[in-house]
Amino acid sequence: MDDIIERAADMIRSAKYAVAFTGAGISVNSGIPTFRGEGGIWNEVDPNYFNLEFFHRKPALTWQIIKQVFYDKLTNVKPNKAHFVLSVMEQRATIKSIITQNIDHLHQDAGNKNVIELHGTYKRLICTKCSTEYGYRFADLNFLPPTCIVCRGILKPDFVFFNEPLPEEAINNAFEEVKKADLLLIIGTRAEVHPANTLPQIAKEKGAKIIEINVSKTLLTDYITDIFLKGDASNVMEQLCTLLTCEEH
């Protein structure tokens, strides 16, 4: 692994506009399960509960499940080493932005400023009738579903449900970023979910180099990835950080 990670560090060092693209795998060491694969959320909970139409039909039931799957977990998790290394990399302008599919807000909690949340965030609720927004602490999760103080409409977590369009500004910003990128650092995603999974392809077509960090190969690895760093995101990112800052050690 030494040689390949040295090559990756060289590639990152010479990039002019590196962008990180992250998925659930980067948050595993913060105690948040992935969605797919062993122990994945979708193995425990039927994803159809997270279908927008179902939510509108049975908001109280869906909120019970949302509370168990997300809010009971996410309200006390912390960023891990991989998140903090990306924060160091942004402070040193080694990466320009993060495009994340995660809703856990851990990139911002680690200090990153330029974060594009493709799938929204658990931290915000939005009224399904008048679109008034609330911080998630507004809701007393013992009385579900939470309702709007303006119009009594039902509040929804401001993250993307299945069959729900992605936030327009986020997807437009993400497309802009990958078109500018000459390096995409892909961390912990199976790249199976559309349209997020089109972003690596767009970067590749624009001539970007692709570095992928994952514990196992993905749909991208043999297809567009230039350097595949097989391993745990926190371990690999810590090694990269040492190599990228070692001249200062």
Which residue of 59, 79, 146, 188 would you call a contact of ligand APR, by CB under 6 A? 188
Nearer to ligand APR, 6 or 39 (CB): 39
119 forms part of the interface with ligand APR (CB under 6 A): yes
Nearer to ligand APR, 138 or 192 (CB): 192
Tell me the two tokens of residue 149: 């103080």
> What's the helix, strand, coil split of the chain in %, to 5?
45, 20, 40
Which residue of 101, 108, 112, 225 would you call a contact of ligand APR, by CB under 6 A? 101
28 forms part of the interface with ligand APR (CB under 6 A): yes
Q: What's the one-letter identity of residue 174?
A: A
Catalytic residue among 83, 107, 119, 194: 119
120 forms part of the interface with ligand APR (CB under 6 A): no
Active site residue 119: yes
For the chain, how long is the longest CA-to-CA vector?
A: 60
Quickly tell me which residue has 């790249």 as its tokens.
191
> d(Cα 14, Cα 27) in Å, to the nearest integer?
27
Q: Say how many residues touch ligand APR, by CB under 6 A.
A: 23
Q: Which residue, among 202, 174, 188, 177, has the nearest Cα to 236 in the 3D structure? A: 188
What residues from 30 to 69 belong to the interface with ligand APR (CB under 6 A)?
Answer: 34-37, 40
Residues annotated as part of the active site: 119
